[in-house]
Amino acid sequence: MTPGSRARRCATLVGLAVLLAGCGGGLVVVPDDLPHSVTVFACGPADGPAVQIFLAEQPISNGAPVAPYISIYIDRSITQLQPGTYAIGDKAVGITITRWSGASSYENATSGAVHITGVSADRTVTGDVTASFPSDAVTGAFVAPWQDRQMTCP
């Protein structure tokens, strides 16, 4: 990333944050409030592969975060995940952004998107997320290394 493109991206994120703060009850900035992140395997439609990115307050082990955390589900395998923007409501790619405040307490974003800037050879996913929830909004960047987790799709 060139210094000029980094500055434009930062300015865009700051502008978006200001816009979102004016539209809702508040703004949560991901890196400050949810500094830990991982990417894991998830079950997709028809038991196919998908990815889930977790952004959490506490360190994540075994692909299982402890609330509070944000879950970003993208209906693509890690090998299919390409740089680009994946938006809630996009018919081509299923995406869900969910905020978990407790073991069974959650709310789904009403709108938002994840912008994937890269997927490295070691399966680390970098990008940023913007999501609107009924009470506030979340925005910020992440670097989510791959973490193996054992699970069986139903």
Each residue of 26-69: pLDDT tens digit?
A: 555 555 678 999 999 999 888 788 999 999 999 998 878 999 99
Question: Residue 151 falls within a domain, yes or no?
Answer: no
Question: Residue 153 falls within a domain, yes or no?
Answer: no
Across 9-18, 51-60, 108-117, 134-143, least confident range = 9-18
Residue, of 25 and 11, whose pLDDT is higher: 25
Asked if residue 11 has pLDDT above 80, the reply is: no
Question: Residue 149 falls within a domain, yes or no?
Answer: no
Question: Residue 13 falls within a domain, yes or no?
Answer: yes
Question: Residue 65 falls within a domain, yes or no?
Answer: yes
Distances (CA, A) of 129 to 37, 45, 62, 120, 148: 12, 23, 23, 18, 22
Average pLDDT over residues 137-150: 91
Q: What is the pTM of this model?
A: 0.79
Task: HSE, CB side, 13 Å, CA atoms: give it for residue 46.
Answer: 1
How far from each other are the two terminal CA atoms of the chain, in whole angstroms? 41
Asked if residue 14 has pLDDT above 70, the reply is: no
Each residue of 80-129: pLDDT tens digit?
A: 999 999 999 988 899 999 999 988 999 999 999 999 999 999 999 999 99
Domain interval for residue 124? 3-144
Could you give the number of structural domains in the chain? 1
Question: Residue 50 falls within a domain, yes or no?
Answer: yes
**Residue-level pLDDT at 135:** 86
* Strands laid side by side in the 137-144 sheet: 27-29, 137-144, 125-132, 111-119, 84-87
Question: Residue 152 falls within a domain, yes or no?
Answer: no
Question: Residue 94 falls within a domain, yes or no?
Answer: yes
